């Protein structure tokens, strides 16, 4: 690691403090006289969202950005189960960052998909930490291979959008160590990201930006992270405590507010200046690691002349690899070459190809499903079928039904619209829009051969598949497939490529089956993670609950045989498992084989099985390939909260290799020497999970904690929001109304909660703690006015008014 002590010794205290916060929304501060350049950052992770100068104040994707390749979002890319493809995608993004003068891409996101309703799930890879960590490491390696930087996010336990600025995630230590943190750990250890972004929320009572246990003990000391910690935009809660915890770079600028506080703290002895120097050292190192140099930069730029064409082809390849064939009754797919097709559904013409919010990019080009089908079909008949807004339209419905009657097969394009899932707020339901379901029912009555093409970044309920008479013969889920998703879908429908994607998350039969459903129905600022490690398939498998589609599931146009599992002991807890996969069909295809470890020691509570290795083989008809899986101590270990270390329990284990978590093809029993199995003294629920655990269960693994009491008049402070105070404060209601009017100005003057951008801004503004609002709107929320608002909300209006008008 470089040492910058000579440079740091030449900087004044004020200069050092200033370097530790942004110059604006996207850049760090430059000190040209000291030879310290600025660093430019932009949102990712599936494309560059580099704002133009005029729109540089937009941190939420409201305005257009410079055109870039819009790759499939994380939910789609993860379903390819292909680390090489993710590395290739990262390198492509690094190329575009180089072209655009971007030093660091803000991604990838590896938060676990605790619940299907999290509005930002489309931006995260998986419900499984092993899969997410391996894919993130590959993506980071690709980006950083060109000298660009990355920011692994959002650290940690950031699993909801509602109240994300202030929610307190109460998570037991085993759940953190075994489930919510390992994806970050893998990415840090294997790919050495230049930075890690700390999240908005609290973890066990402490904001992530102030959390020394997370940022110093775990991230740096346990995992050996040697980069800089950057705050999520507006997540710096207490800058003095942040320096102590190891939060190095505050983004964006607090417009000098925190700088003055920090300077006074150093001068008074409250804060050790050495801690400022420590962060300055890390930021200077970050600047060096994210700055391609001289001749090498010129060489790299020289190969970018055909960049966007190459990247469009790559985006199409990833979209096809990440699409998941969920049903294919009577082998209705692939369609015969040169077939005429009837396409119904507005999303076929106006595709939903990415999520809403800060990751939304302006695609360099965009092709819809109709464009893609023209490459293969003899003719394409299209009917809109429904409005994107969930409103009935009898005329559109009638036109669609008439077209469906005359068609041999119908390609029906349905999915989640923007308002159904977005950054800034959580989903309200797992259902598809009502007008789309109405169309599906009507078309199914007049045509027995419906091919359903789906778009969306999270699972949704599909009760229509339970009807034995349902006309849906095939379901192809494209997820959020990026700018080339339309052509990629056509490649799959007509068999130019065989589907090989597999779900990176479980699809429940119904939302009520999700173990954390009760919390997300009515989220509070205190998020009790009562289910501990039992999330996704880790819950469904041990509880024996039926699911719509299991984790790791995906069909193909060909078939694969698994054979010859051989397990070799390589020393200690190391094992090497080999098996052969053969393409037994008549079509080229790819298979993602998954290895799960099932512990049978009878000691610590744990899931029935956990993914510990995977590999993907691309095979011609009749071709075989040997697959190899490497296991180590962590493949078998649990976190021992007493020893504060990983422990392997003595006893029996089973290796399970399969095509999904519920399609196991080969098994091998192992007996391991280790620590004596220790049954935990906890509620019975954790040994036999079934339904939602109660608080009385949770305290046996977490410890006692007080019930959450919503704030009320007399108890409000800077951690509370306008939304919380408006029920008991006229002034807060007036401010909230002013927010609505101000935000509505950018929405045609209408306060429209069915508009995704309006709803996102209102939710974030209304739910942001006063401490954050004060930083983003110092003109409106000055210190004096904020104190007046708090006094008013706490029942001391005239005292607050007197202080406010006093000079």
| C-beta of residue 579 within 8 angstroms of C-beta of residue 627 | yes
| C-beta of residue 362 within 8 angstroms of C-beta of residue 324 | no
- Chain-centre distance for alpha carbon 93: 18
Could you give the CA distance from residue 131 to residue 710 in angstroms, rounded to a whole number? 37
Q: Is 706 helix (H, G, I), strand (E, B) or coil?
A: coil
Helices (H) and strands (E) in the chain, counts: 26, 26
| C-beta of residue 459 within 8 angstroms of C-beta of residue 507 | yes
Which candidate in 82, 168, 232, 491 is catalytic? 232
564-593 in b/e form (b: 16+ CB < 10 A) is: ebeeeeeeebebebebebbbebebbbbbbb
Angle made by CA atoms 170, 172, 174, in degrees to the nearest 5:
150
Angle made by CA atoms 76, 78, 83, in degrees to the nearest 5:
135
Q: What is the DSSP string of 157-188?
A: T---STTTTT-EEE--HHHIIIIISHHHHHHH
Give rounded-to-5 percent helix, strand, coil for the chain.
35, 20, 45
Please report how many Cα atoms fall inside a 13 Å half-sphere around the Cα of residue 183, on the Cβ side: 30
Sheet containing 195-198: order of strands: 41-43, 104-106, 149-155, 195-198, 228-231
Could you give the CA distance from residue 352 to residue 419 in angstroms, rounded to a whole number? 11
294 membership: H or E segment, kind and range: helix 294-302
Could you give the CA distance from residue 413 to residue 429 in angstroms, rounded to a whole number? 20
- Can you list the positions of beta strands (E) in 159-315? 168-170, 195-198, 202-203, 206-207, 228-231
Could you give the CA distance from residue 55 to residue 61 in angstroms, rounded to a whole number? 10
Q: What is the DSSP string of 507-527?
A: EESSGGGSTTHHHHHS--SEE
Could you give the CA distance from residue 76 to residue 457 in angstroms, rounded to a whole number? 8
| Tokens describing residue 61 | 């994707």
Confirm whether 783 is a catalytic residue: no
With a CB cutoff of 8 Å and minimum separation 6, the contacts of 48 are: 42, 65, 66, 68, 93, 96, 97, 100, 102, 105, 361
Longest dimension (CA), the chain: 85
Could you give the CA distance from residue 532 to residue 527 in angstroms, rounded to a whole number? 12
| C-beta of residue 78 within 8 angstroms of C-beta of residue 300 | no
Instruction: Just list the catalytic residues.
Output: 232
């Amino acid at each position: 690691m470089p040492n910058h002590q000579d440079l740091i010794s030449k900087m004044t205290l004020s200069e050092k403090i200033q370097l530790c916060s942004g110059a604006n929304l996207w850049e760090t501060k430059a000190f040209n006289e000291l030879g310290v350049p600025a660093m430019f950052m932009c949102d990712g992770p599936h494309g560059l969202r580099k704002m133009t100068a005029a729109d540089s104040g937009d941190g939420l994707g409201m305005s257009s950005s410079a055109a870039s390749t819009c790759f499939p979002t994380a939910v789609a890319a993860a379903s390819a189960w292909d680390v090489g493809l993710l590395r290739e995608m990262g390198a492509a993004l690094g190329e575009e960052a180089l072209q655009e003068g971007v030093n660091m891409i803000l991604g990838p996101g590896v938060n676990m998909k605790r619940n299907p309703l999290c509005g930002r799930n489309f931006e995260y890879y998986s419900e499984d930490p092993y899969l997410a960590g391996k894919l993130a490491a590959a993506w980071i390696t690709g980006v950083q291979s060109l000298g660009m930087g990355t920011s692994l996010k959002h650290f940690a336990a950031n699993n909801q959008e509602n109240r994300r600025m202030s929610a307190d995630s109460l998570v037991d230590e085993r759940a953190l160590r075994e489930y919510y943190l390992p994806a970050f750990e893998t990415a840090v250890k294997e790919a050495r990201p230049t930075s890690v972004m700390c999240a908005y929320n609290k973890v066990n009572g402490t904001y992530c930006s102030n959390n020394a246990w997370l940022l110093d003990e775990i991230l740096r000391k346990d995992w050996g992270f040697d980069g800089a910690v950057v705050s999520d935009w507006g997540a710096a809660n207490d800058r003095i405590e942040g320096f102590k915890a190891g939060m190095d770079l505050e983004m964006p600028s607090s417009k000098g507010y925190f700088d003055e506080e920090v300077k006074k703290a150093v001068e008074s002895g409250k804060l050790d200046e050495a801690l400022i120097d420590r962060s300055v050292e890390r930021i200077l190192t970050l600047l060096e690691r994210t700055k391609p140099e001289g001749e090498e930069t010129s060489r790299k730029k020289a190969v970018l002349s055909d960049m966007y064409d190459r990247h469009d082809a790559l985006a199409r390849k990833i979209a096809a690899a990440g699409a998941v064939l969920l049903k294919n009754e009577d082998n209705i797919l692939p369609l015969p070459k040169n077939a005429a097709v009837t396409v119904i559904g507005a999303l076929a013409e106006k595709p939903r190809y990415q999520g809403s919010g800060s990751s939304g990019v302006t695609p360099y080009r965009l092709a819809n499903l109709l464009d893609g089908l023209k490459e293969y079909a003899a003719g394409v008949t299209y009917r809109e079928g429904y409005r994107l807004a969930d409103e009935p339209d009898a005329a559109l419905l009638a036109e669609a039904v008439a077209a469906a009657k005359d068609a041999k097969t119908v390609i029906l394009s349905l999915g989640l619209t923007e308002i159904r899932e977005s950054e800034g707020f959580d989903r309200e339901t797992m259902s598809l829009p009502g007008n789309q379901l109405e169309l599906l029912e009507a078309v199914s009555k007049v045509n027995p051969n419906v091919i359903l093409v789906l778009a969306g970044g999270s699972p949704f309920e599909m009760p229509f598949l339970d009807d034995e008479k349902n006309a849906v013969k095939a379901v192809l889920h494209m997820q959020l497939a990026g700018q080339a998703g339309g052509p990629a879908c056509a490649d799959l429908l007509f068999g130019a490529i065989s589907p090989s994607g597999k779900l990176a998350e479980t699809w429940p039969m119904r939302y009520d089956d999700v173990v954390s459903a009760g919390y997300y129905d009515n989220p509070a600022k205190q998020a009790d993670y009562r289910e501990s490690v039992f999330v996704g398939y880790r819950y469904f498998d041990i509880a024996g609950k039926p699911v719509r589609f299991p984790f790791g599931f995906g069909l193909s146009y060909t078939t694969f045989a698994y054979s010859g599992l051989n397990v070799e002991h390589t020393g200690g807890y190391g094992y090497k498992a080999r098996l052969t996969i053969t393409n037994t069909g008549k079509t080229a295809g790819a298979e993602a084989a998954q290895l799960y470890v099932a512990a049978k020691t009878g000691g610590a509570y744990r899931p029935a099985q956990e993914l510990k290795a995977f590999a993907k083989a691309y095979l011609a008809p009749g071709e075989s390939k040997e697959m190899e899986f490497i296991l180590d101590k962590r493949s078998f270990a649990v976190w021992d909260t007493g020893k504060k270390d990983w422990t392997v329990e003595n006893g029996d284990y089973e290796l399970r290799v399969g095509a999904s978590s519920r399609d196991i093809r080969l098994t091998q029993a192992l007996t391991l020497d280790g620590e004596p199995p220790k049954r935990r003294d906890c509620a019975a629920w954790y040994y036999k999970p079934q339904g939602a655990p109660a608080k009385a269960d949770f305290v046996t693994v977490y410890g006692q904690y007080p019930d959450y009491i919503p704030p009320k008049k007399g108890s409000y402070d800077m951690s509370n929001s306008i939304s919380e105070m408006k029920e008991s404060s006229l002034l807060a209601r007036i401010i909230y109304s002013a927010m609505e009017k101000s935000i509505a100005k950018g929405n045609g003057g209408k306060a429209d909660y069915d508009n995704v951008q309006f709803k996102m801004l209102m939710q974030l503004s209304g739910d942001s703690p006063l401490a954050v609002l004060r930083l983003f709107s110092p003109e409106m929320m000055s210190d004096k006015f904020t104190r007046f608002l708090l006094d008013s909300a706490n029942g001391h209006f005239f005292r607050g008014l007197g202080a406010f008008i006093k000079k």
